[in-house]
Amino acid sequence: MTFDNILVDQQDKIALITINRPTKLNALNRDTIQELHLAFSHLEKDPSTRVVLLTGSGEKAFVAGADIAEFAHFDENAAAKLARKGQETLFHFIENFPKPVIAVINGFALGGGLELAMAAHVRIAAQSAKMGLPEVSLGVIPGYGGTQRLARLTGKGKAMEMILSAGMIAADEACKWGLVNQVVSQEDLLSVSKKMAGKMARNASPALAAAIKAVNAGYRHDVDGYEVEIAAFAHCFSTPDFKEGTQAFLEKRPPKFQ
């Protein structure tokens, strides 16, 4: 797969997507969002991909936000379309992606960049990374799910503080808030992220998909999370990987998942 704004690489069942607009601090323009959608769609169907790492090129930025130059002249209608399309094609898409997605936060994760990281299932940040939702300082609010996902991760009080102050926090602070899972040195960022991805990749794919679905269901208003869990749990029993996983345990050997 080749794209203009992103790079996609795969090694040992782990795909690495790098947003590659370093001169614009990897800001998310329309084309980049579309390319990310296409790349994720392709990886979803590729059985050799078990886990996806998502990062930004260079050491300065993960993603410094939605591309301000692209939406500065928009009216209300165009703004609603932008937010809706972005949420559907990328942010909800990643949140509901059936394979684990780890955001590898190598620098500034601001606005749409932090929203992108929050849509991922897990976040690992470099010590030097800085995070914030500065939209109100531009006269707007987060529109790619930030007001919803931040409050879920950090609680309402911290989310209000970050959104209303438009301030930035350092990685260690973000970890204390529950916004990122782990903080490591810039130097170790990719290797630690790959190690975590490797741990996930060893597990049964249908079970990973079922777990993501069930956990996400708890944050939806239109379904009963416990019911979704029962159905997803039961579905696992129909998969060859379940038979292999339980059999391998009983035979005291490592499983060979499909």
Which residues have a Cβ under 8 Å from the Cβ of 251 and sit 6 or more positions away? none
For position 115 contacting ligand COA by CB under 6 A, the verdict is no
Cβ at position 114, least distance to ligand COA in Å: 9
Cβ at position 120, least distance to ligand COA in Å: 18
Interface with ligand COA (CB under 6 A), residue total 16
For position 108 contacting ligand COA by CB under 6 A, the verdict is yes
CA 214, distance to chain mean position in Å, is 17
**Active-site residue, 229 included:** no
In the set 64, 82, 189, 208, which binds ligand COA (CB under 6 A)? 64
In the set 35, 115, 135, 241, which binds ligand COA (CB under 6 A)? 135
Cβ at position 105, least distance to ligand COA in Å: 13
Task: State how far the alpha carbon of 251 is from the alpha carbons of 54, 110, 242, 244, in Å.
Answer: 37, 49, 14, 10
For position 170 contacting ligand COA by CB under 6 A, the verdict is no
Cβ atoms within 10 A of the Cβ of 234, count?
Answer: 10
Quick check: 141 and 71 in contact, CB under 8 A?
no
- Of 59, 95, 115, 161, the catalytic one is 115
CA 121, distance to chain mean position in Å, is 5
For position 197 contacting ligand COA by CB under 6 A, the verdict is no
In the set 86, 111, 146, 206, which binds ligand COA (CB under 6 A)? 111
- Of 35, 59, 76, 135, the catalytic one is 135
Cβ at position 85, least distance to ligand COA in Å: 16
**Residue (65 or 145) nearer to ligand COA, CB:** 65
In the set 17, 27, 94, 118, which binds ligand COA (CB under 6 A)? 27
In sequence order, what are the beta bridge partners of 15? 10, 52
Task: State how far the alpha carbon of 103 is from the alpha carbons of 63, 96, 220, 251, in Å.
Answer: 11, 14, 22, 36
* DSSP line for 129-172: -EEE--GGGGT----SSHHHHHHHHH-HHHHHHHHHH--EEEHH
| Residues 200, 177: Cα–Cα separation, whole Å | 24
**Contact letters (x/-) for ligand COA, 66-105, by CB under 6 A?**
xxxx------------------------------------
**Active-site residue, 173 included:** no
With vertex at residue 74, the alpha carbon angle to CA 68 and CA 79, rounded to the nearest 5 degrees, is 90
**Residue (138 or 248) nearer to ligand COA, CB:** 138
With vertex at residue 168, the alpha carbon angle to CA 162 and CA 170, rounded to the nearest 5 degrees, is 115
Judged by the rule CB under 6 A, the positions of this chain that interact with ligand COA are 24-25, 27, 64-69, 108, 110-112, 134-135, 138
Active-site positions?
A: 115, 135
